[in-house]
Each structure stands twice: as structure tokens, then as C-alpha cells.
Amino acid sequence: MTTVPTVDAMTTASRTARHPSTLATLWRSTVGKKAVMAVSGLAMLLYLVAHMLGNLKVFFGPDDINGYAAWLRTIGQPFLGHEWFLWIARVGLLAAVVLHGVAAFQLSRRDLAARPSKYAHQRRRASYATRTMRWGGVILALFIVWHILDLTTLTVNPAAEHGRPYQNIVASFGNWYSCVIYIVAMLAVGLHVRHGFWSAAQTLGANNARRDRLLKLTANGLALLLTAGFLSVPVAVMTGVVK
Amino acid sequence: MNLTLRIWRQAGPDTPGSMTTYQVGGISPDMSFLEMLDTLNEELILRGDAPVAFDHDCREGICGACGMVINGRAHGPERTTTCQLHMRHFEDGDTIDVEPWRAAAFPVVKDLVVDRSAFDRIIGAGGYITAPTGSAPDAHATPVPKEAADTAFEHAECIGCGACVAACPNGSAMLFTSAKVVHLNVLPQGGPERASRVMNMVEAMDAEGFGGCTNTGECATACPKGIPLPSIAAMNREYLRSSLRGGR
């Protein structure tokens, strides 16, 4: 009766004696850590959609987008003070970026350790978007730093006019390197979202055989929409549509 | 058929291995891949060389014992087990690379043989139903909805060959574990241990040093039994449901 010990282990495994908290259990397991990545990723994706739509206001002229930027600072008033909403959003986004990055780093290290020796016969695996998630993520993290220095703190912005994003955008995309950095980063966003959105649905258990195709189509649509929307601004500045 | 084989030779778990080239002739296109290796081994034995060690048992595609990476694909170019792969899928004069499953959790024992007992330990953590044994119960003692029966059967087809782990760039056992979890968790008989099963099996899977899932889909492409990729989503759903409810 070799099965008896395992059955005993199962029936007595109520784990009532010591029960780690739900969050600790999630963070310690690969499945749970992926769920953290999925939730933080979806939060950032939601922000990106809003950000992209807001950017399109640049096509309605300086007053429109500058007014929009000023309005963002008044959200929640008088319950919240001036710029409070913006700071709450920034703290939330920072938390999402940090959680996403730390989880990705820890999971990647684990994944690489789980496959220490390569096959002698190499062949192409998975799609480009899937294979570039890790380095694409690093590129995006570096871009976020550059982007904040360029258009939030205005440290590296050629115009650096506070409260006048239209002028800052036009000045920034007047530099070729600024355009190159932005375009590369937005292509990386598209690729990251293309795999990331579907992957998040899979990780959170929202996928099934019937929904798989729809989720992949949504991921592609979102990726395309975000990349096209974001890229329209530097392209408009470079072609002189926005000046 | 005459073939050039490049086979991973490794004398033992702690000795370094390498790809070694062999020529083999007189291969019939109707031979299975394992019969082709048997032919090579007979020649090697006659020459006084050590035969290539590989796992095999039923040779009819249902036991999951055989498994090797052929030209970079788990079980080779066809979606089947290595024993059911026939030489007609190769051309005369081909060079074929044969390697063992590669994963930290599947250490090489010898040549193409790897230790897959990590899978047994995952099963031991919850891949069964704790039920009184004895005489067989009446077939309809517990009604099972048709859809649940179909899902359970689809997942019960997993033979634990390890192709999913071998194909995964992260050496992840998510597809295997999800097949076992979903198989039992959709059935009424598996219901009482639904939460503890998924929590304990995922914990055991992580403890064995398998990687995580990055949703590359390589596992489901390699699976000879066609366990679908959404199974992993189903296991994730079970895991999150159990942990958010306090687990086990």
C-alpha cells in the first residue's frame, strides 16, 4: 500500500496551522507573480489609452491641448487640491512600473535558470513580439525616464515652457534624435502590448478556447491603435502639420 | 535510407556530453524513429561501442516514456510521440540532430534519458482524487455534465512525456500541471479538493525548479496529445480563485 502516505498527506493538509497571507502566497508563486504583472500591465495599458487620446488634442491647436493640460491639474477639485489627482495617478503608475519590472526581473531569472543548456539544433521560436518582451520592456523603462525628463520636468526640452505642452512638443520633435527615440519606443510599445494584452488575459484566467481569437485580435487592435496614435504626433511635427 | 545522425552522448549525470556523429544505413521508411535507433544500436553493439540510451516502453504512443528532441522539435517534425514518428517523414541522406529534453528540472541520466520524476512529485502533490477505493461504483452514481466529461477527457489524455517542458524556452511545466489540475477540477469527484489541488500542485511545480509561463505557446504546439494552450489559463483561473478565497 504505497499510496497510503500520500493520501494521508492530502487529507491532513488543511494548512490551518500556518497559513501565509494571500498576497505573500501570490508573490511567492510563479503563477501569482505573473498575475501581479498582468494587473500592473493592464493598469499601465489603460493609462496609455487615455494618454494617447489626450495627445491627439495637439491637432486641435495650442489652446486646446494647453487647456487640456491645465484641466488635468484640476480634476477632483474642490474635493482634491490642485494637481492632487495628477500626483495620485503618478504614484499609482510608479507602483505599477516598479511591480511590473521587479516581477519581470525575478521571473526572467527563474526562467533562464530553468533552461540552463541550449539545444544544439536551434530553430526560430515564437513570434517577434513574444521574443522581445524582456528587452522591449527594458527599452520602455529607459524611454519612460527620457520622456519624463523631456516633457514632464522639461529638463532636456529645448523650449521648456511650463504649462505649455504644445510648444514643448513641437520643440522636442524638432530634434531628430528625439524623434528617433520616440518612434523606437512607440514601436516597442506596440510589440509589448501585442503579446502583453493577450498574455495578461491568459495569466488572469480570462482566456478559453472560444475567446482566444477575439483576445488576440483585441491585442493586435490595441497595439496598432496605440502605436499609430502616439506616432501621429512626431510625424505631424516632422511633416509640418503641427508647428 | 542512409542517414547521418548527430546524437547527444553523455555517459552519466555528472559527466560532460557532446553531439556525436554516426552513419546509419539500411533504414526502411516504414520504420519508427525508435526502430531506426535500434538499428544503429545493433551496429554499435557489434562494433563494441556503447549503445545509445533512450527511454521507451509501449511503442504505441500512449505511455509517454519515449521522448527526444529531433531537429530542435520535441518528438520530431510530426505531432506525435517519437515511437509513432516514422522514417518516411525524413529524406534519404538527411542529417538528423537528436538531443535529450533540456530543462533544469529534467537532469540527463545518460545520453537521451532524462529523469522526469519531478512530474511524479507534482502528481503526488494533488494529481489524484482522495476517495474510498474498493469495488467500482455504478457508472451513474455521480452525474457528470457532458461538457465537463469532455473537458476532463481532453486533459486526461496527457501522458506526461515532458515534451511541453522540452519545447518551452523557460523549461516550464505549466501545460503538464494544468492538464492534471483541469482534468480533475472540472469533475464533481474532484470538487472537494479543488482548491488544495491547484495550490499544492503549483507549489510543487515551482519547488521542482521549472520556469514560469511566458505564453510562447511552444508547449501546446509540441504536445503529442493536443493539450490546448487555454488549459494554462484555466489553471491560472483555478489558482487565483483558490488563493483569493484563502486557499486550500
Fold classification of B116-244 is: Fumarate Reductase Iron-sulfur Protein; Chain B, domain 2 (1.10.1060)
- Over residues A106-134, mean pLDDT: 90
Residue A12: pLDDT over 60: no
C-alpha cell at B41: 544500436
Segments making up each domain of chain A, as ranges: 31-110+129-238
Rama region for B115: left / alpha / beta (φ>0; ψ in -120 to 50; rest): beta
Cβ contact, residue pair B214, A14, below 8 Å = no
pLDDT class of B136 with cuts at 50, 70, 90: confident
CA B174/CA B122 separation, integer angstroms: 11
**Three-state SS at B90:** coil
ipTM entry:
0.91
Q: Taking a contact as any Cβ pair under 8 Å apart, which residues of chain B between 115 and 144 contact chain A?
A: 124, 126, 128, 130
Residue B80: pLDDT over 70: yes
Whether the CB-CB separation of B12 and B110 falls below 8 Å is answered with yes
Cβ contact, residue pair A30, B212, below 8 Å = yes
Check whether the bond before B137 is cis (ω within 30° of 0).
no
Query: Under CATH, which number does the domain A31-110+129-238 receive?
Result: 1.20.1300.10
Q: Taking a contact as any Cβ pair under 8 Å apart, which residues of chain A between 4 and 23 contact chain B?
A: 6-7, 10-11, 13-15, 19, 22
Please classify residue B181 by burial: count the beta carbons closer than 10 Å to its beta carbon, then call 0-12 exposed, 13-18 middle and 19+ buried. buried
The tens digit of pLDDT for each residue in B107-122 reads 999 999 999 999 999 9
Instruction: Tell me what pLDDT residue A124 has.
Output: 73
Residue A3: pLDDT over 50: no
Instruction: Tell me what pLDDT residue A39 has.
Output: 97
Q: Which residues of B touch A25 (CB under 8 A)?
A: 199, 243, 247
Instruction: Tell me what pLDDT residue B247 has.
Output: 59
The tens digit of pLDDT for each residue in A109-120 reads 999 999 999 999
**Cell 496527457, residue located:** B158
Segments making up each domain of chain B, as ranges: 3-109, 116-244
Fold classification of B3-109 is: Ubiquitin-like (UB roll) (3.10.20)
